[in-house]
Structure 1
């Protein structure tokens, strides 16, 4: 008997499901008669008795394999092959159904919520969903007028033309969209925006997630992605070692600690191609989405193995507000083997706003950012994240970072290492560690890493500051104490700020680049080789190659290449949720919030 299907009734799926198993009811079982077996009856008199007793030959097919082996085969098949497998016959259809939807990608959108509800109503699918990926993109408020929408469309067309011209693409000569098409797009924009506001005002997103997650009894992984975080990686992230093999190959460290789920994902907003300003709630990035899905997980009593959240505005951790957060989860996260958290310490600023602002406006923006960072600092000093991490003793992958600190004052950091990591605690299974946007001392960092030298295989430091100590002393310390040549990877990216420990106490500043954005610098590559090659004895960092962050071309480069090439069609998302297209137009799922029996009761936000 294949897992957990004894009581299923797959022949009578939920009528609203678009993922009804497709059975080949006319399929005949393979015949085993061949010429040899047919001749045996005619030649009985001339055939020895021993030969007559031999069993007839059997034709071996997939149907003759035990279900356990078929399930194991499905674990190694791409989703496209699983779909084809399910079309062959009823038996393989049921086997494939257990592997058809291992991961669901969705957004705060009525179409996506309707698809989730349909999947959760199916007799098989929900119990085999292992991972939920919640994209935080929403249409910004207030809603644009038609005039503003047309203006935004023309502005984006000019930006695209400039980008394509720079790369000599044929698209550079594409004419602007006719005004009639833009107006038609605006109608859809208004409809989506109005539905979004109604959901957020009533809290129906939480109620819907509570209903859906409660049926996903084998859910083990949750990811909340804001501001394109987790979308740039090249490796998948499911914890295959702890998921019974239902996940993909696990990656860790650097770009490997990312997910393919959002790497190439279309969104339900893609038809509004004139409007590309999708983001989270300003000043509250990721907060609503993370809070809603954690509340649903707790209500369902699910113990997760993997949790990734970023960017998450720092106010999420303010327990004094009395709102639901990590402190409300109890021991529900104690079995995590993977925890990635990227915190936004200040209000996000649109590069377009910065580019068009006059000096007075720029000054006010800077003051707001600094005020937010200082408030974040005060909260982090209370140890709200440190207490959370201490309660996760089974971690194998740990990543904690802070982004977008004030670039006009590189020595203001929102948190110290000791604020977010329990320095007196040892994680016995820790294999991969990434730290970003923190300040510490080389002795403190080295002491913590040495505690984990027996298990630690990957280490990444990004945008780190040594307060009164030097990177030129830290690097040889790490290489010697950790035996880094035996590790899989040791990398330093972004800023490396410190202070020389010689008499002059010169400030240190090296820029190592970003392999996921504009690329790592040659210096970063040399540092990586220094750690991995025991024959290299000279430290790559010196006074002569100190280099501040380049400022001249970064903003122009960003505006010319807004996340180029990271949002093409994605096989999984195309099958399930965002951006689905259907032969008859529209989608097969009704608006779940139109259900007369659906009564949301907003919880404590």
Structure 2
């Protein structure tokens, strides 16, 4: 909609049947200048990456803040690992290679010598393609653009521009009910991956190297929740994708503010990153071990227990890209179910939908959890590493399975 003139946007809006519309998504702040006669009952604001000025424009608008009920915030963070042009070029080469690969998929298993050798041979063939020599100029231009954006990103963090913008906006959105905070975590197939390496700057090499929020996600999520707590807003939905586990490892004052901001949530989706992407497998394992060791202290469980009105709960941990091929290693890398939720009582009496992924759990624990919430649960989804198909109790639907649940839990 950024390319549409105001007159055309105004004409499109004039076709709409306003009384029948309950919500829409505002993707361009220019809509606010079209006039109050075109404002809808609810306005959802989509914040484009690094567009804090647009966020402030909407927040300071004389009419729009009263209609904002949902904030969708997608953040792109540039990777700081490519210090020089040679590193940048290697990373872009790998991304091109993944985009052109016929079996576009994950990195080869480092312990599979044959797969690694096959990947190296294919990469050598890739480097001999005719178009290879004609893109060096574009590579250098892309690197300079990346360096400029990296500098701008550092200035933004140093001056806390994002903090101030988010805090002011959230404080002005008095009807705010829902916040979605996601990271860029895409698998872009084919030529589109090639374009993304230059036009959107390179975030990480390879197709399956997830770019997580890390500590910057913790920082920005804090700014949102602190503003919610300070404004006294009753937030109902919070969806967060790929936030570092250290979000739960903060000082008591920060955790108290976070708990207050989340106290009225009815819907929570949380995907937690356990370890930043490190090619060194030993260091990657160490990060996962530190996360699991911290979770054993019960911080995640206490955080979830402090939100008693939940009707929808999804908690997942990022998959281990290398270890997931080995059942024993995956079991050891996944957190325990008892470190996330209480199994001996009903914590959320209104819970209707429950999703837990990448946990280690026993069948009895699964049944205990369902048994204590069977009166309200309507939808369940579990992904446990060490539960086989033979272990599962037949659960086509909860109403028909409650007798089995009661029998299994009492036995």
- 2:183–2:213 Cα contact (<8 Å) kept: no
Work out the CA distance in 2 between the residues paired with 1:442 and 1:161: 43
Q: Are 2:367 and 1:483 equivalent residues in the alignment?
A: no
Q: Are 2:76 and 1:137 equivalent residues in the alignment?
A: yes
Q: Are 2:291 and 1:348 equivalent residues in the alignment?
A: no
Q: Which residue of 2 aligns with 1:206?
A: 163
Give 1:195 shift.
0.6
Give the 3-state SS of the residue equivalent to 2:315 in structure 1: strand
- 2:356–2:382 Cα contact (<8 Å) kept: yes
Give 1:382 shift.
2.1
Q: Which residue of 2 aligns with 1:380?
A: 295
Q: Which residue of 2 aligns with 1:416?
A: 336
1:370–1:189 CA distance, 2 compared to 1 (3 A): closer
Work out the CA distance in 2 between the residues paired with 1:300 and 1:77: 25
Give 1:426 shift.
4.2
Q: Which residue of 2 aligns with 1:436?
A: 357
Cα displacement string for residues 18-75 of structure 1 (whole angstroms, at most 9, x for unaligned residues): 99987999x9xxxxxxxxxxxxxxxxxxxxxxxxxxxxxxxxxx99xxxxx9654222
Work out the CA distance in 2 between the residues paired with 1:301 and 1:99: 23
Give 1:147 shift.
4.5
Give 1:179 shift.
3.7
Give 1:346 shift.
2.7
Give the gaps of 5 or more residues in structure 2: 106-128, 403-411
1:25-174 alignment, distance < 5 Å: 71-75=18-22, 93-98=35-40, 101-107=43-49, 109=50, 112-142=51-81, 144-163=83-102
Give 1:297 shift.
2.2
| Higher Cα radius of gyration | 1
Work out the CA distance in 2 between the residues paired with 1:342 and 1:152: 27
Work out the CA distance in 2 between the residues paired with 1:162 and 1:281: 24
Identify the match of residue 314 of structure 1 among 226, 238, 245. 245
Tell me the number of residue pairs that the alignment of Structure 1 and Structure 2 aligns. Answer: 357
Work out the CA distance in 1 between the residues paired with 2:397 and 2:43: 46
Work out the CA distance in 1 between the residues paired with 2:198 and 2:382: 39
Q: Which residue of 2 aligns with 1:332?
A: 261
Q: Which residue of 1 aligns with 2:235?
A: 304
Q: Which residue of 2 aligns with 1:228?
A: 185
Cα displacement string for residues 233-266 of structure 1 (whole angstroms, at most 9, x for unaligned residues): xxxxxxxxxxxxxxxxxxxxxxxxxxxxxxxxx9
- 1:381–1:419 Cα contact (<8 Å) kept: yes
Q: Are 2:310 and 1:395 equivalent residues in the alignment?
A: yes
Q: CA RMSD in A?
A: 4.2
Work out the CA distance in 1 between the residues paired with 2:229 and 2:252: 17
Give the 3-state SS of the residue equivalent to 2:140 in structure 1: helix
- 1:432–1:458 Cα contact (<8 Å) kept: yes
Give 1:299 shift.
2.8
1:440–1:482 CA distance, 2 compared to 1 (3 A): farther
Higher RCO (CA < 8 A, seq sep 6+): 1
TM-score, with structure 1 as normaliser: 0.51
Give 1:77 shift.
6.9
Work out the CA distance in 1 between the residues paired with 2:247 and 2:222: 8
Work out the CA distance in 2 between the residues paired with 1:480 and 1:224: 32
- 1:387–1:422 Cα contact (<8 Å) kept: no
1:484–1:211 CA distance, 2 compared to 1 (3 A): same
Q: Which residue of 2 aligns with 1:472?
A: 390
1:241-280 alignment, distance < 5 Å: 272-273=199-200, 275-277=202-204, 280=211
Q: Which residue of 1 aligns with 2:140?
A: 183
1:174–1:216 CA distance, 2 compared to 1 (3 A): farther
Q: Are 2:368 and 1:447 equivalent residues in the alignment?
A: yes
Give the 3-state SS of the residue equivalent to 2:310 in structure 1: coil
- 2:267–2:312 Cα contact (<8 Å) kept: yes
